[in-house]
């Protein structure tokens, strides 16, 4: 080991070998970039010729300039030029003078810098951002040792020259004395290639310069914010990791960087790196607690608890539920030992979440929420309430109670400015309204969320979140649009979703499912069952029950009754077990339809009545009207059209108000059918009148079907219309309808389900 090079490490001046942050006690130090910024500030105070508009633009520029990482001179000049070309020129000139001059020019500059200390009338007040910056710089400059000052000056010269060189590439070889690399052609191709690999990274580093602690903190905060709120605007994972590694190389003690690296690794689902970074972060974090003797133990123990909790969260994210549970147990035990109720509350929430993810039904007690309120954890408290509301909604609690609870939490949110939770709350409302079948209300809530101005200060042009709440709201919105036949709009929304939540991201599954469902529905409407069948696999991958249900639908449509029946029975048992009421009802309805196709309308009735009772119990209006529709159809087929018409009146109103286009069409068609059957025995004059009404209803149904591309049903409508016109003796209309029917009939493949036996 003892090689020549290591003997040089015997250097008594070296401090402990550890890179101590803050050797100088200041968080900032002078770099050529900062000198240029100082010049800019100085010019701004001195020069009087700047117009008001320019000045305003410049003022807006100052903060980003102070906070951002060092830029190259050309970048800086360009930025300034955008606001005020004249000032950019002056600054450039001054820098040139200084760089081409001598060391004393720089010294002079710092001497002449208007000190915010002694000049009360100075524009930069000493406690203002600019004043603080200037004082920092002056202080840092004064602390520099002799050799450091010289180094700074040479750095300044290089800074200026590198900009000049870029500006005039033609002059490069002549000026380039230090780098002989460019004119050594005799070096082989391999060599050049290496050099290419080598040079850019080197250039990049020297151009960017190391980040000062402040800049690093700002960088981390910014990236973390972006990761949370708008992932696409953050640096891409590879670049961010490179930046972080760089930062850590310069200062391994910068623990926060490890945490960001953890978050970044999570983005790309890299469990090894994320675990490593997370543990590293907490290893580093423990130090400050240990340093202060007085509450050292407390600080240390605290971070330990949260370390275990975070580890649990990590495993949870990766779906390692057993590991997560173990970590969580550990966190709970440590928290209990040290009586940390706040941490325990967090653990409790996670425990609840974990149990839910594992699929076992656990219930969060109201007591837990009360405890959270007691320990002043509004975030946890309202999360708890939201979970309770969700449970209540699924469990059939009355809407007014749920909405009341949500309103109360909303009060809490606004009070504590928990914008994230407000979003969730609104998304939840959307979902609840949707579940109840009130599409207008759902639509309205979704729009509220999307149009709401975020509470967080508008930052970096990020106005909207990319949280789960937004994904949920947007998915609902697209489904609602698709229901109304606005497929272009729906796909537009989906496109937006795809952009905002790229496929690898956490919430992408939401829109993927939504997208496939819409496509499936369209394919089914269009009668393209093979297409629908191919989509089933994709849906099943994202949601098992949904996949099974859709599979059954396809089978049913393809007249494979036995298979469909088997699947539906299995699904029904499963749904009853997991208490998925919505799905249970839908499965029951499908089962009833299966019974129709074998002409067992009487058997379908009890099923339909059960589904109606269930949907009424759980306030699922949409499904209730659907059930009524089915019921009426059964009655029609059983030969009691009057009864059918009677109960149809219950359903028709909510369907027309909230239902999907397809449902509206089906309802109108059914109404017409009932009307036709009821009037068949009546005298001819009344009959003619009633048939006219029926034709109108058919017309309406036809338009609805046409909007959702449901050609088969359109054809059926034409057929009925033609028959009605015929019986009314309106030959012209009859011929027109018959022709349209014929057109449609030729386009369509042979009929799957006979016209008469379906709703």
List the interface residues with another protein, window 222-261 (CB under 8 A). 247, 249-252
Window of 9-17, 226-234, 600-608, 622-630 that interacts with another protein by CB under 8 A: 9-17
**Between residues 15 and 339, which has the closer beta carbon with respect to another protein?**
15
**Between residues 100 and 194, which has the closer beta carbon with respect to another protein?**
194
- Answer for the pair 410, 426: CB distance below 8 angstroms, yes or no: no
Query: Shortest distance, CB of residue 261 to another protein, whole angstroms?
Result: 15
How many helical (H) and strand (E) elements, i.e. helices and strands, does the chain have? 36, 0
**Strand, helix or coil for residue 624:** helix
Distance from C-alpha of 725 to C-alpha of 597, rounded to nearest angstrom: 28
> Facing residues of 459 across strands?
462
Query: Shortest distance, CB of residue 205 to another protein, whole angstroms?
Result: 7
**Between residues 304 and 553, which has the closer beta carbon with respect to another protein?**
304
Residue ranges in 493-552 that form contacts with another protein under rule CB under 8 A: none
**Between residues 12 and 461, which has the closer beta carbon with respect to another protein?**
12
- The residue within the footprint of another protein, chosen from 50, 61, 144, 405 (CB under 8 A), is 144
Is residue 2 close enough to count as binding another protein by CB under 8 A?
yes
Query: Shortest distance, CB of residue 151 to another protein, whole angstroms?
Result: 6
- The residue within the footprint of another protein, chosen from 21, 53, 376, 755 (CB under 8 A), is 21
**Between residues 205 and 460, which has the closer beta carbon with respect to another protein?**
205
- The residue within the footprint of another protein, chosen from 30, 91, 480, 589 (CB under 8 A), is 30
Per-residue three-class SS string for 466-506: CCHHHHHHHHHHHHHHHHCCCHHHHHHHHHHHHHHCCCCCC
Is residue 296 close enough to count as binding another protein by CB under 8 A?
yes
Distance from C-alpha of 512 to C-alpha of 541, rounded to nearest angstrom: 10
- Answer for the pair 191, 67: CB distance below 8 angstroms, yes or no: no
- The residue within the footprint of another protein, chosen from 211, 354, 624, 660 (CB under 8 A), is 211
**Between residues 144 and 508, which has the closer beta carbon with respect to another protein?**
144
> Facing residues of 462 across strands?
459
Query: Shortest distance, CB of residue 13 to another protein, whole angstroms?
Result: 5
- In 251-340, where does DSSP find H-type helix? 255-267, 271-291, 296-317, 321-337
**Between residues 236 and 253, which has the closer beta carbon with respect to another protein?**
253
Query: In 385-400, which positions are buried (b, 16+ CB within 10 angstroms) versus exposed (e)?
Result: bbbbbbbbbeeebeee
**Strand, helix or coil for residue 364:** coil
Query: Shortest distance, CB of residue 309 to another protein, whole angstroms?
Result: 11
Residue ranges in 149-208 that form contacts with another protein under rule CB under 8 A: 151-152, 155, 178, 180-181, 184, 186-188, 191, 194, 198, 205
- The residue within the footprint of another protein, chosen from 36, 72, 90, 212 (CB under 8 A), is 212
- Residue (of 515, 532, 514, 511) closest to 523 by Cα position: 532
Query: Shortest distance, CB of residue 97 to another protein, whole angstroms?
Result: 23
**Between residues 49 and 147, which has the closer beta carbon with respect to another protein?**
147
Query: Shortest distance, CB of residue 272 to another protein, whole angstroms?
Result: 10
Query: Shortest distance, CB of residue 17 to another protein, whole angstroms?
Result: 2
Interface size with another protein, residues (CB under 8 A): 79
- Answer for the pair 379, 421: CB distance below 8 angstroms, yes or no: yes
**Between residues 142 and 365, which has the closer beta carbon with respect to another protein?**
142
DSSP state, residue 293: S
Window of 119-127, 274-282, 602-610, 676-684 that interacts with another protein by CB under 8 A: 274-282
Find the helix or strand (DSSP H, E) in which 651 lies: helix 641-658
- Answer for the pair 478, 494: CB distance below 8 angstroms, yes or no: yes
**Between residues 3 and 451, which has the closer beta carbon with respect to another protein?**
3
Residue ranges in 51-80 that form contacts with another protein under rule CB under 8 A: none
Is residue 3 close enough to count as binding another protein by CB under 8 A?
yes
Is residue 121 close enough to count as binding another protein by CB under 8 A?
no
- Answer for the pair 741, 755: CB distance below 8 angstroms, yes or no: no
Residue ranges in 305-344 that form contacts with another protein under rule CB under 8 A: 307-308, 311, 323, 326-327, 329-330, 333-334, 337
Residue ranges in 342-401 that form contacts with another protein under rule CB under 8 A: none
Find the helix or strand (DSSP H, E) in which 620 lies: none
Query: Shortest distance, CB of residue 314 to another protein, whole angstroms?
Result: 11
- Answer for the pair 345, 377: CB distance below 8 angstroms, yes or no: yes
Query: Shortest distance, CB of residue 250 to another protein, whole angstroms?
Result: 4
**Between residues 43 and 340, which has the closer beta carbon with respect to another protein?**
340
Report the alpha-carbon angle 112-117-121, nearest 5.
85
Is residue 87 close enough to count as binding another protein by CB under 8 A?
no
Window of 10-18, 80-88, 223-231, 610-618 that interacts with another protein by CB under 8 A: 10-18
CA-based R_g, the chain, Å: 36
- Structure tokens belonging to residue 749: 């493949």
Distance from C-alpha of 636 to C-alpha of 673, rounded to nearest angstrom: 8
Report the alpha-carbon angle 719-723-729, nearest 5.
140
Window of 44-52, 299-307, 399-407, 506-514 that interacts with another protein by CB under 8 A: 299-307
- 461 Rama class: left (phi>0) / alpha (psi -120 to 50) / beta: left
**Strand, helix or coil for residue 462:** strand
Window of 280-288, 435-443, 625-633, 639-647 that interacts with another protein by CB under 8 A: 280-288
- Answer for the pair 647, 638: CB distance below 8 angstroms, yes or no: no
Query: Shortest distance, CB of residue 16 to another protein, whole angstroms?
Result: 5
Distance from C-alpha of 560 to C-alpha of 571, rounded to nearest angstrom: 17
**Between residues 31 and 484, which has the closer beta carbon with respect to another protein?**
31
- The residue within the footprint of another protein, chosen from 287, 357, 448, 573 (CB under 8 A), is 287
Query: Shortest distance, CB of residue 263 to another protein, whole angstroms?
Result: 18
Query: Shortest distance, CB of residue 66 to another protein, whole angstroms?
Result: 16
- Taking each helix axis from N to C end, the angle separating 561-578 and 544-557, rounded to the nearest 10 degrees, works out to 160
- Answer for the pair 554, 540: CB distance below 8 angstroms, yes or no: no
**Strand, helix or coil for residue 228:** helix
- Structure tokens belonging to residue 18: 């550890």
């Amino acid at each position: 080991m003892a090689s020549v090079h290591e003997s040089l490490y015997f250097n008594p001046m070296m401090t402990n070998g550890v890179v101590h942050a803050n050797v100088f006690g200041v968080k900032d130090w002078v770099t050529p970039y900062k000198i240029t910024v100082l010049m800019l500030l100085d010019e701004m105070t001195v020069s009087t010729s700047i117009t008001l508009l320019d000045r305003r633009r410049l003022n807006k520029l100052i903060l980003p300039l102070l906070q951002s990482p060092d830029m190259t001179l050309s970048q800086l000049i360009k930025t300034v030029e955008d606001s005020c070309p004249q000032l950019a020129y002056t600054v450039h000139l001054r820098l040139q003078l200084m760089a081409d001059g001598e060391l004393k020019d720089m010294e002079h500059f710092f001497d002449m810098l208007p000190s915010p200390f002694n000049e009360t009338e100075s524009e930069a007040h000493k406690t203002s951002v600019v004043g603080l910056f200037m004082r920092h710089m002056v202080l840092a400059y004064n602390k520099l040792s002799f050799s450091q000052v010289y180094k700074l000056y040479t750095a300044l010269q290089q800074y200026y020259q590198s900009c000049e060189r870029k500006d005039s590439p033609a002059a490069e070889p002549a000026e380039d004395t230090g780098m002989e690399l460019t004119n050594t052609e005799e070096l082989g191709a391999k060599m050049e290639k290496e050099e290419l690999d080598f040079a850019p990274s080197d250039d990049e580093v020297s151009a960017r310069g190391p980040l000062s602690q402040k800049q690093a903190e700002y960088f981390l905060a910014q990236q973390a914010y972006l990761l949370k709120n708008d992932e696409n605007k953050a640096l891409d994972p590879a670049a961010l990791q490179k930046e972080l590694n760089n930062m850590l190389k310069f200062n391994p003690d910068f623990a926060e960087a490890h945490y960001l690296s953890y978050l970044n690794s999570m983005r790309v689902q890299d469990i090894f790196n994320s675990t490593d970074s997370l543990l590293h972060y907490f290893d580093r974090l423990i130090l400050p607690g240990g340093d202060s003797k007085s509450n050292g133990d407390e600080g240390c123990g605290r971070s330990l608890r949260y370390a275990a909790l975070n580890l649990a969260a990590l495993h949870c994210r990766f779906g390692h539920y057993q590991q997560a549970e173990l970590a969580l147990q550990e966190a709970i035990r440590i928290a209990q030992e040290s009586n940390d109720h706040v941490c325990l509350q967090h653990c409790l929430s996670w425990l609840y979440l974990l149990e839910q993810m594992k699929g076992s039904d656990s219930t969060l007690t109201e007591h837990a929420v009360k405890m959270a309120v007691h320990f002043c954890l509004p975030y946890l408290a309202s999360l708890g309430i939201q979970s309770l509301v969700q449970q209540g909604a699924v469990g059939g609690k009355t809407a007014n109670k749920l909405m009341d609870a949500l309103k109360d939490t909303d009060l809490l949110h606004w009070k504590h400015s928990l914008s994230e939770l407000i979003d969730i709350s609104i998304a939840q409302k959307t979902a609840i309204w949707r579940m109840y079948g009130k599409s207008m209300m759902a639509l309205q809530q979704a729009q509220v969320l999307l149009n709401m101005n975020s509470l967080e200060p508008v930052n970096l042009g990020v106005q909207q979140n990319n949280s789960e709440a937004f994904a949920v709201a947007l998915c609902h919105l697209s489904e609602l649009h698709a229901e109304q036949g606005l497929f272009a709009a729906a796909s537009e929304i989906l496109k937006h979703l795809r952009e905002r939540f790229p496929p690898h991201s956490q919430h992408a599954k939401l829109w993927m499912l939504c997208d496939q469902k819409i496509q499936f529905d369209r394919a089914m409407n269009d009668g393209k069952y093979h297409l629908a069948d191919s989509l089933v696999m994709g849906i099943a991958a994202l949601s098992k029950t949904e996949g099974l249900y859709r599979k059954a639908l396809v089978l049913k449509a393809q007249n494979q009754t036995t298979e469909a029946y088997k699947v539906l029975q299995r699904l029904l048992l499963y749904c009853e077990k997991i208490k998925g009421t919505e799905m249970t009802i839908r499965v029951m309805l499908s089962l009833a339809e299966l019974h129709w196709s074998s002409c067992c309308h009487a058997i379908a009735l009890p099923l339909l009545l059960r589904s109606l009772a269930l949907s009424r119990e759980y306030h699922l209006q949409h499904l209730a009207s659907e059930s009524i529709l089915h019921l009426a159809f059964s009655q029609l087929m059983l030969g009691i059209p009057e009864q059918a018409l009677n109960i149809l009146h219950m359903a028709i109103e909510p369907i027309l108000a909230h239902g999907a286009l397809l449902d509206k069409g089906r309802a109108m068609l059914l109404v017409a059918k009932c009307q036709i059957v009821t009037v068949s025995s009546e005298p001819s004059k009344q009959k003619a009148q009633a048939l006219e009404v029926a034709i109108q209803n058919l017309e309406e149904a036809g338009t609805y079907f046409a909007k959702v591309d449901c050609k088969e049903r359109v054809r059926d409508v034409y057929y009925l219309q033609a028959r009605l016109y015929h019986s009314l003796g309106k030959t012209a209309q009859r011929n027109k309808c018959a022709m349209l029917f014929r057109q449609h009939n030729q386009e369509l493949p042979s009929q799957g389900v006979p016209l008469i036996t379906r709703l």
